[in-house]
Amino acid sequence: MASTARLAEQGVAVELQRNANEEDGHARMYKQAMLDVGTDVDQRVEFRPTTQFLARVGELARSEPSRALGALYATETAAIFEHETFFEIWKQICHRGGIPYDGGRIKAFHDLHVDGVEQGHKDGLAAFVDLDQPPQTQGLPVNKDVVEHGALAAIEAMQTWWGAMFELAGVAPANPTR
């Protein structure tokens, strides 16, 4: 967010702060929901591809403001798909473990995100991705080419991360370019 505060269009930083504020507390909610179904994240084994992915997104978020905007827009857009996928995964985990899914916190967490939070984050940033701007006297303009490069860099990082998860699961990923 600090990077995007340098943009002439201050709405980008405001929107990213709104997103962060909205997500505040969601990690605790998810952690408790996972505990409810028998998974303690404090006892997990690090999955290096996730650590590397988060480091890459952090690096992109701290980069040139338009690049940061593109990267964060791409990750928010992908978050919709991710929550839909994890919704189904947790449904199966609960079913296999004999744990009620409907009415549980884990379902409520994913419902919250699939039914609004992530779409709102994506839409809130989309307003700035395609923004036609008059010449600015203060701050940096949103550079659409750099936004695109940031989005593509984030997508590349996500593909690497998802590929590692598919490999771990022994599943061949679908090729979205076909």
- Cα 145 to Cα 122, 124, 132, 133: the distances in Å are 19, 19, 13, 14
Q: Give the model's confidence band at 135: pLDDT under 50 very low, under 70 low, under 90 confident, else very high.
A: low
Q: What pLDDT score does 74 carry?
A: 95
Average pLDDT, the chain: 86
The mean pLDDT value for 85-95 works out to 84
In words, the CATH class of domain 4-22+29-132+141-168 is mainly alpha
CA-based end-to-end distance of the chain = 35
Q: Give the model's confidence band at 178: pLDDT under 50 very low, under 70 low, under 90 confident, else very high.
A: very low
List pLDDT tens digits, range 25-62. Answer: 788 888 888 888 888 989 989 999 999 999 999 999 99
- Where are any strands of DSSP class E within 68-145? none
Q: How far apart are CA 138 and CA 5, in angstroms?
A: 12
Evaluate whether 89 touches 142 at the Cβ level (below 8 Å): no
Confirm whether pTM is higher than 0.85: no
Q: What pLDDT score does 25 carry?
A: 79
Judge whether residue 121 has pLDDT over 90.
no
Of 31-45, 125-139, 157-171, where does mean pLDDT reach its minimum?
125-139
**Structural domain spans, the chain:** 4-22+29-132+141-168
More confidently predicted of 177 and 52: 52
% of the chain exceeding 90 in pLDDT: 31
More confidently predicted of 150 and 86: 150
Judge whether residue 116 has pLDDT over 50.
yes
Measured in whole angstroms, the distance separating CA 26 from the mean position of its chain's CA atoms is 13
More confidently predicted of 90 and 48: 48
Evaluate whether 122 touches 77 at the Cβ level (below 8 Å): yes
Q: What pLDDT score does 137 carry?
A: 62
The mean pLDDT value for 88-102 works out to 86
Q: Crossing angle for the helix pair 65-97 and 48-61, nearest 10 degrees? A: 150
